Each structure stands twice: as structure tokens, then as C-alpha cells.
Structure 1
């Protein structure tokens, strides 16, 4: 079910999101949340709302790159550590990796293989937008492969028509705003 307890956050996301048609390629409608992050009241409300998704999480897995902004705020709010889930080639080896399909291509995500012990950690996965669900599903699989338990997934904006929620049915999933 979608989290909509903070109408200030959802109203701010609705009001401030900039939509870019045919970006990054024809047929894709890109939700730019940069204006939401730049507004201090909106950003604070969004981080607060995301933090309610799993208040007992001890690690926040934040997805490259906009998820980093959110994950840092949620981690500070919850007193949790933050795991940066990086795009391929951004971390020195050894890494754990997970490849997946995007709505407009393919990609690979990575985390350190031996620098961070995730065994038994309770992880909240945080990202900006849920579209087809490939990125978030790959992130969850990646942190689980490292021995962590994904306790919830949360996003700022969910694009319901793209059906990403179906790929994440095994996790509690919340969004600040669903369009």
C-alpha cells in the first residue's frame, strides 16, 4: 500500500516535480525531482515521510544517484548507516553486482563485496522514482545476496501505469505520491 500520511510531502512532490517528455529517449516521460530536493520544506517533508517506511531499519540502501540524496537524509533521521548502491564501474573491486532491465535499456548495480558486512542487517531500500521496478528489484536482490534482510522499499514518486509495484510484491512498499 502507498504511504500518504504526509499530505505536505505528497502535495510538494505533485507541485514541484518537473516532467520532461521524450527524455532520456523518445517515448519516456522523465520525472525530475530536482525542484523537490532544492526546496528545503519539501525536502524535509519527503525525508520525514520516507523515514516512516521502516523506522527499525539499521541500514539505508540508497540507489545511484538521486537516491543518495534521499538515503543520506533518511539515514540521519533514523540513526542508520547508508549503503550507496552504485552504477557499474564506480567502485573498486571486489564488488557484488546485479544486472537488470530498465524501461529504456539495461544496467548493472554494485556494492562492495568485502568492505561492508551486511549479514543480518535490516535494510530499507530508498530511491526517487518507481517506474517498471527493475532498479529497485535489482537493489533488493543485491543487498539480500550480501546477507541482509530487506524490510521495506520506499520511493518519492510511483508511476502506477508502468506496473513496477508488481515486481516488488514480496516487500512492504510505500510511495510519497502515486501518479
Structure 2
């Protein structure tokens, strides 16, 4: 069994969540399997081994879990990118588009220094609105975004291409057809 096949069997699919016609890809089953979790983190880290990465940015909430593990493996700092109003210090924010509207995300104003090399991490990329917002937020502060990494890509929704169009390389471990 290949790693990709193995990952696809570990990730739980929940039909019609959060609404009819959506196939929700639930990575909590991956996180609960120690061997699979370790392998996924190792695969996310591998392209950057031996490279100087200053920060890993993770998007709320599953991106915190994966991003924290990736940051640890890369001996990098970690930047939490959160929904508006969740951070206690001075922040910078950006509005971003969702399938069903607009939201805002923010990070601490001093989370990244201009020129720092950053890897962006989340569990899944679908339409790319959240990742696009994170890229714009990091760039506001002068970050050099080395790559955006995801466990799952839903290529039919075009999010990975949206991030590539911003000049950011995208790495995903597996792809699922459909929504």
C-alpha cells in the first residue's frame, strides 16, 4: 500500500457535512493514528529539511496542530493565524472570502519580521480563500513565503492554483476528487 493510499484510508469522509453535497475530509482520524500522524508531518517537512525556515504559520484550528509539529521538526518558530478577536496583543488583519461570505483573520503585529522565510501549513485546501488571506496577511509584514503545505487538496475547487497564482509553491500530500 502506498503512503497516499494509506492516508486516504485513514482520513474519514463524512458525507453531507456541513451541508448537503459536501464530502467533509476529517483529519482527526489521521491525528489519532500515531504512525500516520508522524509520517504526514515528516512528509510535510521533507522538502525543507536542511533549509533555513524562520517561521511556520498555521491557520486556525487544525493548522495549529500540524503547523506546530512542522515548526518543531524544522526548529522554526510558530505563528498562529486566528479568526478576528482571538489574539490579545496588537494585531494586523485581512478580510478573506469564504464559500459562504467574508471573514477576517489576524496575527500579532510582531509575529514575523520582514524577510523571514515562512512555510504556511493547514490541513486542507479547498477554494483557497483562507490560504489566500493568510498569504496576504504574512506579506503585509514582509514575510518571504517559501511554500504553502496541506495534507489534503480538493483540486476541483481550485484553491491550490489560486495560491500558485500568488507566486507561492503549493505542496499537498493527497488529493480527493469532488467537494
Q: Same fold judged by TM-score > 0.5?
A: yes
CA distance in 2, matches of 1:88, 1:117: 18
Q: Which residue of 1 aligns with 2:67?
A: 71
CA offsets per residue over residues 95-151 of structure 1, 9 Å max, x none? 11111111233221110114x342211000000001001111111110110111101
Contact between 2:55 and 2:112, CA under 8 Å: does it hold in 1? Answer: no
Contact 1:53–1:152 (CA<8 Å) still a contact in 2?
no
Higher RCO (CA-CA < 8 Å; seq separation 6+): 1
Tell whether 2:128 aligns with 1:133: yes
Uncovered stretches (5+) of structure 2, i.e. residues with no partner: none
- 1:42 paired to 2:43: no
Separation in 2, partners of 1:34, 1:155: 14
- Corresponding residue of 1:178: 175
Query: What is the rounded CA distance, in whole Å, between the counterparts of 1:122 and 1:92 in structure 2?
Result: 25
Aligned length: 171
TM-score (norm 2): 0.89
Aligned Cα root-mean-square deviation (Å) = 1.4
Q: Does 1:155 align with 2:150?
A: yes
Report 1:48-87 matches (<5 A). Answer: 48-55=42-49, 56=51, 57-87=53-83
Contact 1:54 1:151 in 2 (8 A): no
Does structure 2 retain, via aligned residues, the 8 Å contact 1:152–1:172? yes
2:11–2:26 Cα contact (<8 Å) kept: yes
Q: Matches of 2:162 and 2:48 in 1, distance apart?
A: 19
